[in-house]
Structure 1
């Protein structure tokens, strides 16, 4: 069961309240994430949607590793998924997007469960704790400085690192009731698989 305050934070978060440029991803920072989310929400240009989807998914997960930008990204990907499912019968781009996102969600949830089975620290108490100044990276992106930081033994504190996984799961869990209401026959097997691991 999800605590109401966690759900309220996840469902109420505004994309503008996340310092994307200070959150790590597999290939840098999440600076362009809001632009990609906007492209996905529009669902009106297949080529642009494919590019945005590629950029988001490859930066949010790489070889089963999740990043600082992933849990926040999953909040908005969850909203895009619900929207795509709602429009999938009328809009072929939404139909494509829903199918791709369900596969991606399954991958993210698998990463969470794999990480959860290993020994790990407790997650930070609140989703928003991951945005504390002490955890954010510098305002300016400096490739050399970032490479040096990654060479250090502890790039992310243990509780922060596990939070990337825990809160990515929570971001999807917050939208569970919307997924349970979905009646599309086409997507039923994939939605059922996701609900089973939530």
Structure 2
């Protein structure tokens, strides 16, 4: 991983991301900031479960990742770090840590599946994902979006592979911090998680 990409990932703010112009499995990422805020608070179990479902269902569907997914993974990595830290004292954090570890394993599998296929090189920079040419319209129009999906190359090849590549780079950027917070209870799952990482987990 380049230092430029690592710095971008670790300094990115929710407000820096034009979520309403990023695709998800069921539309746009407009509601991502609200869902991420609920998870970050780790207070209301029902609200956390609902927000987690909304996020994960929109970030991954049948092994397909979307434009919002790499950005979602940046903030879910930070939330996982906090959840691991508080898991011993906060039952909601404990629940969330376990659920996020499962989701991260799913994202890892998606990355491996995409990497095994013939693919373009990823965009050089994580920030390239937000180039104007890749963003969808400012105003959401369901019919217009559906028409765009009918185009032969709705996502350029390098952009599409970048959904997978940078989703995993987002996790790698926080690997060291996450490892410091893993409790003995979650340690076996954490080791198994990275054991399944194969060659794609090198932090380069």
Q: Judge same fold: TM > 0.5, yes or no.
A: yes
1:130 and 1:80 map into 2 onto residues whose CA distance is 22
The answer to whether 1:99 aligns with 2:98 is yes
Q: In structure 2, what is the equivalent of residue 9 of structure 1? A: 8
Per-residue CA deviation, residues 89-133 of structure 1 (Å, 9 max, x unaligned), is 000000000000000000001100110011000000000001000
2:113 and 2:41 map into 1 onto residues whose CA distance is 33
1:94 and 1:189 map into 2 onto residues whose CA distance is 18
1:66 and 1:48 map into 2 onto residues whose CA distance is 24
The answer to whether 1:146 aligns with 2:145 is yes
Q: Are the aligned partners of 1:103 and 1:190 in contact in 2 as well (CA < 8 Å)? A: no
Q: In structure 2, what is the equivalent of residue 191 of structure 1? A: 190
2:180 and 2:194 map into 1 onto residues whose CA distance is 11
Please list, as runs of the form range in 1=range in 2, the aligned pairs for 1:123-134 lying within 5 A after superposition. Answer: 123-134=122-133
Give the deviation of 1:3 after TM superposition. Answer: 2.1
The answer to whether 1:177 aligns with 2:166 is no
2:153 and 2:182 map into 1 onto residues whose CA distance is 45
Runs of 4+ aligned residues of structure 1 deviating over 3 Å after TM superposition are: none
2:20 and 2:71 map into 1 onto residues whose CA distance is 12
Give the deviation of 1:191 after TM superposition. Answer: 1.3
2:159 and 2:144 map into 1 onto residues whose CA distance is 20
Partner secondary structure for residue 37 of structure 1: helix
5+ residue gaps, structure 2, are none
Please list, as runs of the form range in 1=range in 2, the aligned pairs for 1:86-125 lying within 5 A after superposition. Answer: 86-125=85-124
2:98 and 2:3 map into 1 onto residues whose CA distance is 29
Give the length in aligned residue pairs. Answer: 197
Q: In structure 1, what is the equivalent of residue 82 of structure 2? A: 83
Q: In structure 1, what is the equivalent of residue 43 of structure 2? A: 44
5+ residue gaps, structure 1, are none
Give the deviation of 1:6 after TM superposition. Answer: 1.2
Q: In structure 2, what is the equivalent of residue 72 of structure 1? A: 71
Q: TM-score, structure 2 length as denominator?
A: 0.94
Please list, as runs of the form range in 1=range in 2, the aligned pairs for 1:22-37 lying within 5 A after superposition. Answer: 22-37=21-36
Give the deviation of 1:186 after TM superposition. Answer: 1.6
1:179 and 1:42 map into 2 onto residues whose CA distance is 18
2:103 and 2:80 map into 1 onto residues whose CA distance is 10
Give the deviation of 1:169 after TM superposition. Answer: 0.5
Give the deviation of 1:188 after TM superposition. Answer: 1.2
Q: Are the aligned partners of 1:88 and 1:94 in contact in 2 as well (CA < 8 Å)? A: yes
Say which is worse superposed, 78-87 or 143-152, in terms of deviation: 143-152
2:180 and 2:41 map into 1 onto residues whose CA distance is 23
